Amino acid sequence: MRKLMVFNNISLDGYFTDGNGDMSWAHNQDAEWTQFSSDNASSGSSELLFGRVTYEMMASFWPTPQAQAALPAVAEVMNSRPKLVFSRTLKKADWENTRIVDADAVSEVRKLKGLAGPDMVVMGSGSIVAQLSEARLVDSYQLVLHPLIIGSGRTLFEGVAHKLELKLDKTRAFQNGNLVLWYQR
Write down the pLDDT at residue 173. Answer: 96
- Whether residue 14 is predicted with pLDDT greater than 80 in this model: the reply is yes
More confident residue, 31 or 3: 3
Q: What's the mean per-residue pLDDT of the chain?
A: 92
- What's the pLDDT tens digit per position in 41-88? 777 778 999 999 999 999 999 999 999 998 888 899 999 999 999 999
With cut-offs at 50, 70 and 90, classify the pLDDT of residue 29. confident
Per the structure, the count of domains in the chain is: 1
Gyration radius (Cα) of the chain, Å: 16
pLDDT for 108: 96
pLDDT in tens, 74-130: 899 999 999 999 999 999 999 999 999 998 999 999 999 999 999 999 988 889 999
pLDDT confidence of residue 31: 85
- Give the pLDDT band of residue 37 (cuts 50, 70, 90): confident
Q: What is the arithmetic mean of pLDDT over 160-171? A: 95
Task: Assess whether pLDDT exceeds 80 at residue 1.
Answer: yes
Q: Please state, for a pLDDT cut of 70, what percent of the chain lies above it.
A: 99
The domain of 55 spans 4-184
Cα 79 from Cα 75, distance rounded (Å): 6
Nearest alpha carbon to residue 185 among 134, 115, 128, 113: 134
Cα(41)–Cα(118) distance, integer angstroms? 14
What CATH number is given to the structural domain containing 21? 3.40.430.10
From the list 111, 102, 118, 172, the residue with the least C-alpha distance to 143 is: 172
Burial class of residue 99 in the structure, from the number of CB atoms within 10 Å of its CB (0-12 exposed, 13-18 middle, 19+ buried) = exposed
Which one, of 132, 146, 172, lies nearest residue 10 by Cα?
146
- Cα distance between residue 59 and residue 81, in whole Å: 13
